[in-house]
Structure 1
Amino acid sequence: MSEYALPRKWSPKTVAVIGLRVIVAALFAAAAFAKIAGLPQMVQEFDTIGLGQWFRYFTAVVELTGAGLTIWPSRSAYGAILLAGVCVGAFFAQLLALHADVIHTIILGAVVGGLAFLQRSQLVQAR
């Protein structure tokens, strides 16, 4: 089956994984576009972090890359792993620099980690 072919039978797991991929990609793409647009809250947060505004753009590019990979069927596990890394970075930024709520980064990190786990066969096939 090619990477673009749809499965003949859609199992509940397949539907759930595809739905989760779309939701995760949309969330991270929206966050990336907020950073690129320079929303005042984003600019202020990255000023507080102290690494400069270049880091806001870098984070947006990483988030967009992860969102794109998450949508791409044969590379979705790699996108989820990349976005899990973003969540780890956001956790430490929230905890150490912003002194804000970290529960959202933990939950989102668990979701993208679970998405990577559900698609772990992609990682094994790459060898």
Structure 2
Amino acid sequence: MSTTVTMRRAVRPGTVVLWVVQVVLASQFVMAGLMKLSGNPGMVEMFGNVGAGQWLRYLVGALEVAGALGLLIPRLCGPAALGLVALMAGAIVTNVFVLGESPAIPLAYLLVAGVIAWLRRSALASAFGILRR
């Protein structure tokens, strides 16, 4: 007769908090991305003011939704957060130099995504094939 022992890994409170933050950030990016993809008049006007064409609105919306979904997948959460950092860096530059608006919201999202990317650096290392010593 064999005995099987099931060992459960203890879930630390910090891990739970990090996942909650990821879900909240993902929901914000899904909402923003869907507004862009659905042709919200405010988004159409804003991207018209950017001057690059509406294709950019679709691209940014798709990247926001993809990044949000990636935040919810354990293997992709690190790379997704890093991608959202890059996207928000572009949004900050656009807000300041093209639209003349406050960069506060994209800066806040960049900081949160940056913290997630840092805390999920093992997922980044795994995704990019970096060997850790």
Please say whether Structure 1 and Structure 2 have the same fold, judged by a TM-score greater than 0.5.
Answer: yes
Deviation at 1:123, TM superposition (A): 2.0
- What are the equivalent positions in structure 2 for 1:44-123 lying under 5 Å apart? 44-123=45-124
Give 1:9 deviation, angstroms.
1.4
* Residues 33 and 64 in structure 2, CA contact (< 8 A), matched pair in contact too: yes
Shift of 1:124: 2.4
- The structure carrying a bigger helix percent of its residues is 1
How far apart, in 2, do the equivalents of 1:49 and 1:9 lie?
49
Of structures 1 and 2, the larger Rg is shown by 2
Percent identity, aligned pairs only? 30
Consecutive unaligned residues of structure 1, counting only runs of 5 or more, are 1-6
Q: TM-score under structure 2 normalisation? A: 0.87
Contact 2:92-2:103 at 8 Å conserved across structures: yes
Deviation at 1:8, TM superposition (A): 2.6
- In the TM superposition, what is the alpha-carbon distance from 1:84 to its structure 2 partner? 0.6
Aligned residues: 121
Please tell me the root mean square deviation across aligned C-alpha atoms, in Å. Answer: 1.1
> Which residue is equivalent to 2:44?
43
Q: Which amino acid aligns with 1:65?
A: A
TM-score when scaled to structure 1? 0.91
Cα deviation 1:95-119 (Å, max 9, x = unaligned): 0111111111111101100000011
